[in-house]
Amino acid sequence: MEAVLKNLASTVELLAVAAHSGVVEQWDKQTLSRAFHWARYCEHLFSRFHNNSAVRRIMEKQLQLTNQSLQAAIPGYTEVSFSDLPRCQHHLLLGLLNNPKLPSSIMRILFDSKSPADTKHSEYPDVTGLCSHMIQCKSACKVLNPLTDQSAVGADAEVQGVMLMERLGALMSQSSEACRTEHFLDSVLQGCERAAEHFCRVIAAALLTTENSASQTALQDFLMDWLQKKHMLMHMCSALPTTLLMDLAKEHLKFRDAYYDVLKKWASDMEYSISEGEWVQTSTNPTVSFQKLTEHFQALFDTCPSLRDDVEKELNALKISDGDFDVRGLSVWGDLLSHSENNGKIY
């Protein structure tokens, strides 16, 4: 029993290290696997002894002593109770994800979607893709739950968006960690190069998380600033459905203004093709048709009616700078304005 109590205390200390210590910066895949091995060991202890009142009391006493020691040594430490033991791997994972010092190499292991984690059949479990496996399970719950509203971004992207915001919150909890947070986002972007559209949905889900707090707003503003810095907004506006873009425009003034700037950029890159009898883009990647551009403007006006007058004034000023001609095909701004003034709509 002495060895069991020693292992129990050591594992609780491990959970504290994973959640609060900078030591995790030195962790590799083998260290990570051993950590989850010991977390699983504590789950086994609970399964074996939770109905044995005598052994349970001894284990609870050990947990009390270990918690007291850790609370004295680590500010913000949250104690581990006997009832927490059956979810030890979960607590370990959350502790790691909320630790600002967790290196991107470990994040990549946990979120690797190519190699699903096997946590049941080996002494030291393969933790590769553990987060991806958890995302799949949570997504399935959302899809199968008839009481859950259909997500505009998709269940898996919604789960990942929440996890992304939690990770950003952990990194931003240290005021000097802005560069580290940007590096984390850069690594996520790099890892999603072959799934750019899904990445855009994850970002949208993160921006649409509904927790109303000053810290949440600050995180979303930081994410918006990063998107603009990386010139990602143009791709988002092209990849996401218009309804989702309108949800973002309603929720975030900064996104609405940036979205309008993207529409102007698309328009400025257009030239009139005599052979096609239409405005076509010449340099913007990805490309958008003039018809699609007018649909974006119409959706923006329908969602944000107060924006209409200011936009039409700016379009008119840009038309004047092009010569103020009323002939179709001479100014993209004039043609956009003409559509806008036709029955009060862009269509």
Q: pLDDT tens, position by position, for the chain (347 residues)?
A: 889 999 999 999 999 999 999 899 999 888 888 898 899 899 899 888 888 888 988 999 999 999 999 999 998 888 898 888 988 888 888 888 888 888 888 877 777 655 544 444 444 455 654 555 555 444 444 444 444 445 566 766 777 788 788 878 877 776 555 777 887 788 777 766 666 778 888 899 889 887 767 778 888 898 999 998 888 888 888 888 888 999 999 989 999 999 999 999 999 999 999 988 899 988 766 678 898 899 899 899 889 888 888 988 999 999 999 898 888 899 999 999 888 777 454 44
Q: For residue 31, give its domain range.
A: 1-114+123-145
Please check whether residues 164 and 58 belong to one and the same domain: no
Quick: pLDDT tens for 133-145.
Answer: 555 444 444 444 4
Listed residues 240, 268, 284: the one ending a domain = 240
Please check whether residues 227 and 266 belong to one and the same domain: no
3-class DSSP assignment, residue 278? strand
CATH of the domain at 305: 1.25.40.490
* Helices within 74-177 (DSSP H only): 88-97, 104-111, 130-144, 155-172
Please check whether residues 24 and 141 belong to one and the same domain: yes
Please check whether residues 184 and 322 belong to one and the same domain: no
Please check whether residues 140 and 10 belong to one and the same domain: yes
Quick: pLDDT tens for 278-322.
Answer: 999 887 666 788 988 998 998 998 898 888 889 889 999 999 998
Quick: pLDDT tens for 154-175.
Answer: 766 777 788 788 878 877 776 5
pTM: 0.62
Listed residues 204, 223, 240: the one ending a domain = 240
Interatomic CA distance for residues 103 and 92, integer angstroms? 15
Please check whether residues 158 and 35 belong to one and the same domain: no
Number of domains in the chain: 3
- The set of long-range contacts for 242-247, using a CB threshold of 8 Å and a minimum separation of 24, is 242/295, 242/296, 242/299, 243/152, 244/152, 244/153, 244/201, 244/204, 245/296, 245/299, 246/299, 246/300, 246/302, 246/303, 247/152, 247/204, 247/208
Please check whether residues 252 and 324 belong to one and the same domain: yes
Please check whether residues 88 and 216 belong to one and the same domain: no
Please check whether residues 228 and 325 belong to one and the same domain: no
Among candidate residues 37, 54, 42, the one with its CA nearest the CA of residue 82: 42
Interatomic CA distance for residues 291 and 267, integer angstroms? 11
CB 345 within 8 A of CB 298: yes
Please check whether residues 187 and 141 belong to one and the same domain: no
Tokens of 253: 């003034």
Please check whether residues 207 and 328 belong to one and the same domain: no
Please check whether residues 224 and 280 belong to one and the same domain: no
